[in-house]
Structure 1
């Protein structure tokens, strides 16, 4: 098995008359210990239904070539919405006074990863809510969810990527922004409250389009239309934003992570004032411990 060469560091503190040396533990890991939980961004990247063209990903490449045709310099220009593909929702996404992307601390972007597998339930009901029973059964098997965790719903939704119609569970290919056609899983509001209040999570994540199920979004949209509100706010998103927590959507390859014991590192674009951003997610499996 190939391993990455390790480097040994030594930290020193100088005091008049003496030098104190504090050896730092050797850092050694196998490439297999770190998993990329990110989909690539390209014109096939799936975005949530909104105004046409608002979220399309475009990339233009400019090249300068030498006389013999070799590339001397290449640079690209891309344009994309914040909330598509593998991405992070900051509290500002559903909170007027919530932190934006450039305000998030590094501590908020690293933590234990918990993967709750509800694939059996989702196969029979694509609008499934991950609920309190699922959480209690998970903890009975794997132990208590650690404080500060990112809790992910895993429903094998990645098998639908990047088919836009299947990714949203849409009834027809031309669904536009008709939420009534959509079907995908998410977190039950009561489960969200429990995880925030009783497990002090850092955030929620999913391998699907939204931490709120399509059924919950439809319910909130209907309530907003009835009350003539300007916008609907799905429950899990609102709870997370209110408490300064993070949402992660379209996380890739969650099946490669253990149910508990792993960690994740989020590396989002630091777009000032942004409510979300494309995000590289690194999953660290427990064979290598990060202190």
Structure 2
């Protein structure tokens, strides 16, 4: 009789403790098929592409990258650095994607996803204006002008332009946008070429109007977006990431992110 009682108790206990395992929601620990890997992306430390303010991460590059990961429900690793170091990391297959950069940046291992267009703009001190030069491109060949650029990241220049500046020793590389603007204000360089977001971040309208002339480049505006690694990411992974970025354009998310950052309003040359 005692053995029968023990057997019944064991059966009841087994039934009770087996119920929760059947009812436990699997989705709490399950990851989607898209998230079998951890994505690694670069954040270029040039405001407003990426910066930290009052302990909060922000910037165009940061918000687009985080939004893509949110949509894919993926784990991710951030790599923060200057543009030259991150471009080198991308070239050497240490990053899954990098941006925003222009379509003019040439990677052998890249699929480019364009998100918005923006002109390149020359900012030049009024004292250095050559009335004979009619457009941005003409100033590249002005022997009196020294240009400030980012170290290793000549994202606003065509290859033949940067080669011309280097041959004549008229280019000064700096680590960040703030350094270039400081050099321009101090007269160490006389000109820089940048886009609306960079100029909107570092200059106010009054300073630009009083001290500088802005000249918009000829031809098509630069296309800005993200470079996806064709060596680290297979076609399916690139496809999911590509769709995440393109959906931001379709549903207005890209425009909402961009609207948070001040753009330079072009003032035509008088």
So what's the TM-score if we normalise by structure 2? 0.24
So what's the TM-score if we normalise by structure 1? 0.23
